[in-house]
Chain A
Amino acid sequence: MNYNLDHLSELESESIFIIREAFAQFENPCILFSGGKDSIVTTHLALKAFYPAKLPFPLVHIDTGHNFKETLDFRDALVKENGARLIVGSVQKSIDDGKVAEETGVNASRNKLQTTTLLDTIEEGQFDACLGGARRDEEKARAKERFFSHRDDFGQWDPKNQRPELWNILNGRKKMGENFRVFPISNWTEMDIWQYIKREQIALPSLYFAHERDVLERHGVLLGYDKNVHTLREGDKVEKRMIRFRTIGDISITGASESTADDLDKIIAEVAAARVTERSGRADDKRSDSAMEDRKKEGYF
């Protein structure tokens, strides 16, 4: 025995360690579940961390009302299979309550509105820590994110005022009203995620695999067309193409890419050869070079 762990096992072990610390240090943690592969992997790791006990915290899903049906079906099946608790925060409700105003225009998106619903759901559920599937390699502003990321009592992130994290000692002490975001898979890359999904045979929504779908092309981004979400304007053309999604979020903004990768091996080969980052399919990051950082400061995870 040489007692060496391969990189996936080492990352897995680190993530499980962090999830267990979150459970021990916080009174009422939850998992922010988006239905995307990163939050699915995070949930898988959390199940592993506490096995044979059940998942000791609920899944919180912020429903923009513009979700793919495949995502919702997948979410409900996962919850049922694991006897987990699900809490849904509704953006539609935030709109109906007058807390936020729906964006208008052809590029309208509910992505920004999510932040308010999320912060309200956190407050209502009195969650003092939200585990999320964000990774540092995803986006520039995330490269400095901590495992335990401190938020002030408005849920805001102050990049200059983060606690240093040394060795693997995590400090989740907080004052009343403050809370934490916890990022157990910070150190994973997109490739690690896919390799791990394959190794652990983790089920994913069918959206990730190549399939034929009606799409709409805008600013070079292919959107999965939904007549209830997208307002067509002149010149817009809806056509059937063979595509798959590299990330899954709100229908209005989640970009697809043309692909024939219909199984994990083909996806891994595609990721290895990919020349654009997965977030580039997201129209929300295109708003400006610092778009993500601005949303993070407001409390977006």
Chain B
Amino acid sequence: MDLLRFSTAGSVDDGKSTLIGRLLYDSKTIFEDQLESIEGASNKKGLDHVDLSLLTDGLRDEREQGITIDVAYRYFATPKRKFIIADTPGHIQYTRNMVTGASTSNLALILIDARKGILEQTKRHSFIASLLQIKHIIVCVNKMDLVDYGEETFEEIKAAYIDFASKLDVEDIRFIPISALKGDNVVDKGDKMDWYSGGSLLNTLEEIYISSDRNLIDCRFPVQNVIRPHSDEYHDYRGYAGRVESGVFKVGDEVMTLPTGFTSKIKTINCGKADVAEAFPPMSVCMTLEDDIDTSRGDMIVRVKNQPEATQDLDVMLCWLGDNKLVVGKKYIIRHTSNEARTIIKEIQYKVDINTLHRLKEDKNIAMNDISRVTLRTTKPLLVDSYKNNKSTGSFIIVDEGDFNTVAAGMII
């Protein structure tokens, strides 16, 4: 069984919570005690049906305000797949949560209210999915019961979305007409929309082939820790612990450690007590090399003939997440793979209007939720690839030196 991670997004009241509640409910992930508790809460609210959206409303503050305010993770499994949902809120001010949820997802599920069609937020969500290089989007046109399950409405929305999406970089977009409230096309197909020939949402999620987000070509192994047992049995053992971010490493492979540039061969690869012959993403392993090389956290093990770029100058797309505005020329901390350096933002090239996708060249005012293209200079070279080729070595975060909050997420161009 494999794992599919997807993010959900929709504007407020599009029915996202109801949809997730239904997926959990119909896949029997909801337990009796949880159901009892939301039945009680639904009664208290004076509802005559069980409000499935209450299942996903986590924190008390939210319950009181009646909105979702942060990324929440949900789990369910069918006999075919295990799913992790990054449930992100649909508020204008919470673009940062959507970026966060999307950063670990293989697929984005976007909800549209059939009565309203494509809204600014639909575009915003789609753009973020594309920016974060999510290769699959499922567009659910919800509340079909309120438009008499009409095929025409669905087709109109679909056409409009396809038109808009031509500006995006997404490989695979699918459309499903659903009613989250009544259940049509969520888990079962139901009998209201015979004109729709595709699978139900759950069926699509189970069957969709996730063209691997993993890069199996460029070998990148950022060293997290050096393992030195200091025991008699393993007196000379010096292992490099880390996770294979891309490529396949095999025992006997000629490798190079960066930034030092020493070459050696892989002697052993182990995962706990088990020795393995090869390691591929996203395996966490420990490697030893034939030669005693001085390598530490922040270094990277790669193939001699396939190296990342070592650079202090970065051209990036930046999502600002912090409460305080971006300050050009101010020193920040940059964290990239297992490495850390200091950085200054040298120049803002443009800000993206994420509703129209226009480049705003004059607007240099970057605040929370803004997406911009900027250039950075770091205090030491980082070992980078473009985000498009390698999500792990192409991504970074920026941390404020004062309060140490994570204030931005970046993707290297």
Contacts and interface: CB of A to CB of B under 8 A. Distances in A.
A106 interface: no
B284 A164 contact: no
B399 interface: yes
Nearest to A11: B3
Interface in A52-86: 52-54
B284 A144 contact: no
B219 to A, nearest CB: 13
Given A164-B96, A175-B403, A47 B272 contact: yes
Contacts of A191: 77
B59 A164 contact: no
Given A174-B404, A275-B32, A48 B282 contact: no
Contacts of A140: 57-59
Interface string B217-260: 00000001101111101100101011100001000000000000
Given A3-B216, A49-B284, A293-B60, A171 B397 contact: yes
Contacts of A21: 224, 338
Contacts of B228: 53
A51 B270 contact: yes
B77 A189 contact: yes
A162 interface: yes
Interface string A268-297: 000000111100100000000110010000
Interface in B345-384: none
Contacts of A159: 59, 61, 70
18 contacts: A3-B248, A4-B2, A10-B2, A51-B270, A53-B227, A136-B75, A137-B74, A159-B59, A160-B61, A163-B406, A164-B71, A164-B99, A166-B395, A169-B335, A169-B336, A189-B77, A275-B31, A289-B37
Contacts of B1: 6-7
B397 A13 contact: no
B243 A144 contact: no
Nearest to A50: B227
A168 interface: yes
B79 to A, nearest CB: 10
A275 B30 CA distance: 8
A53 B225 CA distance: 12
Nearest to B1: A7
Contacts, number: 173
A187 interface: yes
A169 to B, nearest CB: 5
B60 A17 contact: no
Interface residues on B, range: 35 or more
Given A53-B227, A173-B333, A175-B404, A167 B59 contact: no
A277 to B, nearest CB: 5
A76 to B, nearest CB: 22
Nearest to A294: B60
Most chain-B CB neighbours within 10 Å: which of A13, A21, A186?
A13
A143 B34 CA distance: 14
Contacts of A280: 31, 33
A275 B33 CA distance: 8
Interface residues of A, number: 59
Contact of A277 (B33, B57, B100, B283): B33
A298 interface: no
Contacts of A262: none
Q: Which 4 A-B pairs have the closest CB atoms?
A: A173-B404, A48-B272, A16-B284, A143-B72
Nearest to A297: B60
B64 to A, nearest CB: 10
B234 A17 contact: no
A293 B59 contact: yes
B334 to A, nearest CB: 10
Interface of A: 1, 3-7, 9-14, 16-17, 20-21, 23-24, 47-54, 136-137, 140-141, 143-144, 159-160, 162-169, 171, 173-175, 186-187, 189, 191-192, 274-277, 280, 289-290, 293
B391 interface: yes
Contact of B243 (A17, A48, A137, A160): A17
B49 interface: no
B42 interface: no
A257 to B, nearest CB: 12
B392 interface: yes
B70 A144 contact: yes
Contacts of B397: 166, 169, 171
B413 interface: no
B2 A20 contact: no
A108 B278 CA distance: 55
Contacts of A169: 335-337, 395-397
B241 A189 contact: no
Interface in B33-75: 33-34, 37, 41, 56-61, 69-75
A275 B36 CA distance: 12
A200 to B, nearest CB: 9
B100 A166 contact: yes
A49 B241 contact: yes
Contacts of B333: 173
A20 B225 contact: yes
B273 A51 contact: yes
Contacts of B18: none
Interface string B259-272: 00000000000111
